Amino acid sequence: MAGPVNWISQIASVTKFGLLSMPQRRGSVLAAAFGIAGVVAVLVGVLSIAAGFQRAMTASASPDAALVLRSGADSEMVSGLGRPSTRIIADAPGVARTAAGPLASAELFVIINLPKISTGSDVNVPLRGVERAALLVRDKMRIVEGRMFDWGKDEVIVGIGAAREFSGLRVGDQIKVGRYNWPVVGIFTSGGGAAESEIWSDAAVLQAAYNRGDSFQSVYVRLKSPEAFNEFKDALTTDPRLNAQVMRQTDYFADQSTAVTKLITTLGFLIAFLMAIGAVFGALNTMYSSVSARTREIATLRALGFGSGAVVVSVMLESIVLALLGGAIGAGLSYVAFNGFHTATMNWQSFSQITFALAVTPQLLVQGVVWATLIGAIGGLFPAIRAARQPIAAALREL
Amino acid sequence: MKYWHLIWSDLRRKKTRTVLTLLSIVVAFVLFGFLSAIKQALTGGVSLEGANRLIVRHRVSIIQLLPQSYQQRMERIAGVATATHQTWFGGIYQDPKNFFMQNPVVPEGFMDMHPEFLLPADQRQAWLQMRTGAVVGRKTAERFHWKIGDKVPIKSTIWAQKSGSFLWTFDIVGIFDGRDKNTDTTPLFFRYDYFDEARRLGWGKGMVGWFTIRVKDPAKAAEVAKLVDAEFENSSAETKTEPEGAFVQAWANQIGDIALITASILGAVFFTILLVTGNTISQSVRERTGELGVLKAIGFSNVQVLGLVLAESCLLAVLGGIVGLAVAWLLTSRGDPTGGLLPLYFFPFHDVLIGVALSVALGVVTGFFPALQAMRLRVAEALRRI
């Protein structure tokens, strides 16, 4: 072997051979490429559900926002805090204040049944009762259609995700809460966060409708700064009058999303792994036939002094090029088909719906391409070894 | 059958290719089985018994409680045989990840309502005698290595005792099995009288989560459901009554359109396999053009040649299909891959049959065009290639 440059030029010429002969074998090349495209599309598609869900859950939480629940409650749904407790929480050290008072909103979280537009069957839609500070605690909150509800009135505003996924939530519609009909007066966004799946009303009005007396389920708080969290937490957890747990909103929402995210990713990887095995067989088939169609050419090159290493590398390169072609098709397809697709699923922690958009992130696309490369490499390896091991004399005799 | 040898030797002609194609078909059917099991786990919790049972919940949502006194009123409605109730306890055993359902029930009525839970008579007797007693399904008992006589501490996320503590302790007095394969044996049931007396006064006392009704005549279930909802109309807690099957189905639909998702994934998989297999078979037909010409020259009819190629593709597909379904059966019988989130994870038998049918279809579709190609071959042209 005469130096690395020569070796590389050998690889280049053998690879060129293979790549130029691809159009002649287009049936089998396309079959293998589409096989790999299928794997990548399914992998990226399924994982984009998990990525989109996680993004929706964590998007709007900022590091200087905290959430207080009854200790032992794993979600707002099962929590409970009386008015005296929520007052103590609002007045605790570390809470940001404006002229109107502390930035703390004591909230109620219940669910109501509404039909989902896509399936027509009833689902649990979250209905949240908030206090005035809620709009300042969540800084990304904007009314995009209609108006804010009037405090003290039986009116609601609806998150843009909920309005899109569930029927009867347009401005002018009415929702039935218990025995009352409440009009929808506005639609809001909250920076893509979980609140966009919710319906909001005045907490005091909701307490009355649900016979909750003067109790709440959670307190949403904006802190003076992200560092003020420990001071705030220590003050509440050491207060003997309270039985509360304090979390950063970022941690709470991340935690709420783990069950669903884990389930989807586990299933997604399992499905993609099985499909990848199938695609490897497809690639092997294609590469074996590619190699056997060129038995004579490869033998001739080797008789001329080409090294077997160059043959192995170039066959694998060919296979990887084919896989990357497939991978690119698959990644492109999944991006076009899935990215931004709006849907809703149940958040298992609170038994209520979360609306979200599927997210085909750059990381997922890279992951898809990596899978394609691996499939191509494995699919090329064995045919490459066979090509390199062929006895030259026997192969040439076939001429 | 006399062509068996011919078909077999065609498949053995390029062993590597045949084996690889076979394996990709096997993988497709393993996936089929796996997805069937997932779909079963998410949507299949409807027992045969469910046909004569109705679920009554609060009209606004399941989280709102109903007065326990509704039971007597329901049992007086024409067409209702019996009614029982359950309440969501939302308990955690050691770690939130150890999810399973625990509900307080009235033992006698509950066991009569649910004959799909098989509890030995002596254990049932023990449960009736012990206030703090609880019965647990086989799966959960095995998962946490619980035996009869164990004391199990469970922390409720919702219900506090009078002392203010959320920690409840139950005595395991029985372990029940499922009568059918799709009976969920992960829940734990404990006594409502113990629960109602021990829980903190105030919100929730005397209130239960939802009711199950057994109707006298399943054919009249819809009418009974209407009567029940009419009974509680304009009360402080209006109800929504629906068949158990519809209730379970609606619960699964909350997750999303599962049938659509699995169908699209399977569509992608089978489309891929169709390409790979179809391509292999047409490749092998092309290579054998000369031989097929010879067959025709010695008197094989067009239909016989068509049949030969189709038989070859069907043999490959069915062989791969059966092996794949068998592997899927073995894999899924090892149980839920997510560790507790999917209690009803298994590969239902009717889906196995669908799989077999699908494998035949795959063979016909992949073999169709190559077979047509072989049938239309002109003898003279084909022989020229030899």
Is the Cβ pair A274, B27 closer than 8 Å?
A: yes
Is the Cβ pair A289, B35 closer than 8 Å?
A: no
* Chain A contacts in chain B segment 86-145 (CB below 8 A): 90, 92, 96
| Averaged pLDDT, B208-217 | 93
For residue A258, the model assigns a pLDDT of: 84
pLDDT at B344 over 80: no
Residue B337 pLDDT grade (very low, low, confident, very high; cuts 50, 70, 90): low
For residue B338, the model assigns a pLDDT of: 62
> B259 or B297: which carries more pLDDT confidence?
B297
For residue B202, the model assigns a pLDDT of: 65
- Count CB neighbours of A128 within 10 A: 25
B16 touches chain A (CB under 8 A): yes
| Averaged pLDDT, B354-372 | 90
Residue A30 pLDDT grade (very low, low, confident, very high; cuts 50, 70, 90): confident
Indicate the average pLDDT of chain B. 86
> B29 or A30: which carries more pLDDT confidence?
B29
For residue A1, the model assigns a pLDDT of: 47
Is the Cβ pair A271, B35 closer than 8 Å?
A: yes
Is the Cβ pair B61, A112 closer than 8 Å?
A: yes
**E strands of chain A, at which residues?**
65-70, 81-82, 97-98, 101-102, 104-115, 122-130, 142-146, 156-159, 174-177, 180-189, 199-202, 215-216, 218-222, 244-248, 342-347, 352-357
Give B41-83 pLDDT, tens digit per residue.
Answer: 777 665 555 678 999 998 877 888 899 999 999 999 999 999 9
pLDDT at A55 over 70: yes
pLDDT at B84 over 90: yes
A38 vs B contacts (CB less than 8 Å): 268-269, 271-272
Q: What is the DSSP annotation of B261-295?
A: HHHHHHHHHHHHHHHHHHHHHHHHHHHTHHHHHHH
Residue B331 pLDDT grade (very low, low, confident, very high; cuts 50, 70, 90): confident
What is d(CA A262, CA A54) in angstroms, rounded to the nearest whole number?
10
pLDDT at A209 over 50: yes
Kind plus residue range of the DSSP H or E element containing A28: helix A26-58
What is d(CA A113, CA B65) in angstroms, rounded to the nearest whole number?
14
Is the Cβ pair B257, A263 closer than 8 Å?
A: no
> B115 or A7: which carries more pLDDT confidence?
B115
Residue A192 pLDDT grade (very low, low, confident, very high; cuts 50, 70, 90): confident
pLDDT at B20 over 90: no
Lowest-confidence segment of A1-10, A53-62, A274-283, B269-278 by average pLDDT: A1-10
Is the Cβ pair B338, A346 closer than 8 Å?
A: no
pLDDT at B206 over 60: yes
Q: In terms of C-beta density within 10 A (0-12 exposed, 13-18 middle, 19 or more buried), how is residue A393 classed? A: exposed
> What is the percentage of chain A residues whose pLDDT exceeds 70?
98
Nearest Cα to Cα of residue A115 among A353, A395, A274, A381: A353
Q: Which of A275, A352, A385 to mutate to test the interface with B (most CBs of B within 10 A)?
A: A275
B269 vs A contacts (CB less than 8 Å): 38, 42, 275, 278
For residue B1, the model assigns a pLDDT of: 60
Is the Cβ pair A288, B17 closer than 8 Å?
A: yes
Is the Cβ pair A351, B62 closer than 8 Å?
A: yes
Give, in order, the Cα–Cα distances in Å from B302 to each of B290, B375, B381, B383: 15, 5, 15, 15
| Averaged pLDDT, A309-338 | 90
CA distance, residue A85 to nearest chain B CA (Å): 16
Q: Which of A285, A286, A289, A354 to mutate to test the interface with B (most CBs of B within 10 A)?
A: A285
User: Between A and B, how many CB-CB pairs are < 8 A?
Assistant: 153
Give B300-325 pLDDT, tens digit per residue.
Answer: 888 888 888 899 889 999 999 999 99
Q: Among A77, A78, A112, whose Cβ lies nearest the Cβ of B60? A: A112
A178 vs B contacts (CB less than 8 Å): 60, 238
CA distance, residue B64 to nearest chain A CA (Å): 9
Nearest Cα to Cα of residue B309 among B254, B245, B364: B364
A31 vs B contacts (CB less than 8 Å): 275-276, 278-279
**Domain boundaries in chain B?**
4-44+256-384, 48-253
Q: What is the 8-class DSSP label of residue A173?
A: -
> A158 or B345: which carries more pLDDT confidence?
A158
B259 touches chain A (CB under 8 A): no
Give B92-116 pLDDT, tens digit per residue.
Answer: 998 877 888 999 999 999 999 999 9
For residue B44, the model assigns a pLDDT of: 65
Question: Could you tell me which chain B residue has the CA closest to the CA of A28?
Answer: B279
For residue A350, the model assigns a pLDDT of: 75
ipTM of the shown complex:
0.73
> B72 or B287: which carries more pLDDT confidence?
B72
pLDDT at A43 over 80: yes
For residue B203, the model assigns a pLDDT of: 63
Is the Cβ pair A274, B30 closer than 8 Å?
A: yes
Give B141-188 pLDDT, tens digit per residue.
Answer: 999 999 999 999 999 988 889 888 889 999 999 999 998 877 888 899
Is the Cβ pair B276, A281 closer than 8 Å?
A: yes
| Averaged pLDDT, A265-286 | 84
Write down the pTM of the prediction.
0.80
B253 touches chain A (CB under 8 A): yes
Give, in order, the Cα–Cα distances in Å from B138 to each of B144, B184, B188: 10, 9, 10
| Averaged pLDDT, B278-292 | 80
pLDDT at A383 over 60: yes
CA quadruple A59, A63, A66, A67: dihedral, nearest 10 = 30
Lowest-confidence segment of A89-93, A167-171, B130-134, B202-206 by average pLDDT: B202-206
> A142 or A121: which carries more pLDDT confidence?
A142
Question: Could you tell me which chain A residue has the CA closest to the CA of B279?
Answer: A28
> A250 or B14: which carries more pLDDT confidence?
A250
B250 touches chain A (CB under 8 A): yes
Task: Supply φ then ψ for residue A387, to 5 degrees.
Answer: -60, -40
Q: Among B166, B254, B276, whose Cβ lies nearest the Cβ of A124? A: B254
Pairing of strands A352-357, B210-215: unpaired
For residue A164, the model assigns a pLDDT of: 93
